[in-house]
Amino acid sequence: MAHTKSYNNYQWNTLHQNGAYPVDGLLSTQLEPSANLPLAVDRYNDAAAEIQQLLLSALNANQGFRAFGSRWSLSNIAYHPDRMHHNKLMNLQLPLGQEDIHEQSTLEADKLFFFQCGTTIKSISRALARAGKSLKTSGASNGQTIAGCISTGVHGSTFDFGAVQDFVKGINLIIGPKPEDVVYLERQSEPALSDDFAKRIQARVIRDDALFNAALVGLGGFGFIHGVLIEAEDRYLLKRYIKKIPKQVAMELANTMDFTHPEFRIAEEVDETGQNNRPYFYKIYVNPYNEQEEYIVELMYKKDYVSGYPDPIPAVKKSIYRDLIHLFIKIAERAPKSIPGLIQLLRKAVLPVENEVLTGTLAEMFWDAGYQGPAFACSFGIDHRYSEKGMQLMSDLVNEVGPIPGLFALRFVKQSDATLAFTKFPVTCVLEIDGVQWEASKQLLSLKEFSKKMIDTLRLNDIPFTMHWGKNADWVYPRLVERMFGEKVNEWLRQRSILMTEEKQRLFDNPFLERIGLSCPAAEPTIV
């Protein structure tokens, strides 16, 4: 049987050290060795039984229970003071055959893969590569677990696709200790796996679009995510360019997502009719303390896979544009060890161009994180049509109320169907600021105060917004979630109460859900 190690009085923290938080009991489950249970599905069901035992124990002790994986969220969305479950050793892949596909499914069997919750993006990419497949998108790096990604809405900058949760087609949840508490969820409108598959994992099937969409970005509140069905695609290559282009052009591209812009051209990325190719990925980097007439932009174009391309990892490893926090840290390395010194440096720093054009798979381009130390990161989602305005407001804000030791970037993500996805606009511009943590003083306002001022600024200027669930924010801002999602909040709560009794909801509630007002059960629940 899978076994769980427990550690008492643990100090839990996020990867970027935004805590620490005391935890009564930390639990870590290890799978039964394959020598004892050779079939992956048997090991999977054995692990499910172990999780159900842990849930029963938590219920009996009247304690809460939350899972965590790689701790990559900077907010305390994963935290629970009672019992926290480390699931990163739960990394099975269940093989799927044609017989496992639902008879009405329009999905291609060879593109569907089923992974256990703790499998990281890196592991998934490796498994897909062996089958000649690739993820459709990922975050800027690869260390997050699949369950963590979808629970918080991890995204890249794929404005014609979406975020990580948008390639998920099925979710296996464990919501309590009873046999009927193992649930396999899919959309009614998009069945993927057969009822026989659900039987193999000893789950009852629920096919319901509204419930699936609510559970998809479930913020950890829809039970223990045990397994996830994803849709991959044939492997492809990405060709990456770092360019410096006029600020106005960069922002017009952001505002319109129209890459046929007459003043924008990458000579190698033009089709036979002379039109610009449409990129797969677009990102703008902004130093708000030294705004130039030109911005650094990062573009990636999708190409057919061919073998024999030069290994991009050595260049990716040394590139300063691996992700925003890495860029910031690389610049900050040259600064004296004081915030004023750092700000002085930022005022002089001009972001450099990297002329090397890189080609690699998605997994190679978004390889291991370059920096995993202390950091803060705030991300707002706004309609991409407000990109320029939003960026200008934020830039003005840091110069007025700051300085804040951070840099900005803008990424772009297509709308998600998930009820509480923060990528909710037709194309969401993710306006992010990443940097090092600092001590508030008379000269420097606190991160919480700064976060509040960012929200105030967007509200005052009538820019509808959302915020990344896994990032730093003033999460106690009055009616914050309601302002961001309106009626969808009630829909999420209603679906949660349909799936789970109040007792079970409380089991998976945590201080984060309580703080943002999502821990309350909806009235008149109807159990499915």
Residues that bind other proteins (CB under 8 A): 7, 13, 15, 26, 28, 31, 33-34, 40, 43, 70-71, 86, 88-89, 91-93, 116, 118, 120, 122-123, 126-127, 313, 367, 372-373
Region of residue 274 (phi > 0: left; psi between -120 and 50: alpha; otherwise: beta): left
In the complex with other proteins, which residue's Cβ is closer, 15 or 210? Answer: 15
Residue closer to other proteins by CB (options 33, 336) is 33
| CB of 7 or CB of 305, closer to other proteins | 7
Q: Are 128 and 137 in contact (CB under 8 A)?
A: no
**Helix residue ranges per DSSP H, 409-526:** 447-460, 480-485, 488-499, 502-508, 511-515
State in angstroms the smallest separation of the CB of 149 from other proteins. Answer: 16
Give the residue with the Cβ less far from other proteins, 43 or 414: 43
CB of 142 to other proteins, least distance (A): 9
Q: How far is the CB of 343 from other proteins (least distance, A)?
A: 25
User: Cβ of residue 93: shortest distance to other proteins, in angstroms?
Assistant: 7
- Three-class DSSP category at 485: helix
Judge whether 471 and 377 are in contact, CB under 8 Å: yes
Spell out the residues 6+ positions from residue 62 whose beta carbon is closer than 8 angstroms to its own: none
The answer to whether 54 touches 4, Cβ cutoff 8 Å, is yes
| Other CB atoms within 10 A of residue 489 CB | 19
Q: CB nearer to other proteins: give 176 or 470.
A: 470
Tokens encoding 60: 């009996």
Sign of the Cα torsion 15, 484, 517, 58 reads negative
Judged by CB, which is closer to other proteins: 35, or 267? 35
* DSSP secondary structure code for residue 428 in this structure: E
Which is closer to other proteins, CB of 118 or CB of 191? 118
Tokens found for residue 30? 């290890």
Longest dimension (CA), the chain: 68
CA angle 219, 428, 271 (to 5 degrees): 130
The CB-of-191 to other proteins minimum distance in angstroms stands at 27
Best CA proximity match to 462, nearest among 383, 348, 365? 383
Q: Is the Cβ of residue 13 or residue 276 nearer to other proteins in the bound state?
A: 13
CB of 404 to other proteins, least distance (A): 24
What's the chain's Rg over C-alpha atoms?
23
Cβ 268 to other proteins shortest distance, Å: 27
Of the candidates 177, 203, 185, the one whose C-alpha atom is nearest the C-alpha of residue 45 is 203
Tokens of 424: 């909710």
Q: Which is nearer to other proteins, 123 or 344 (CB)?
A: 123
CB of 88 to other proteins, least distance (A): 4
How crowded is the C-beta side of 424, counted as CA atoms within 13 Å? 22
CB of 361 to other proteins, least distance (A): 11
Three-state SS at 256: helix
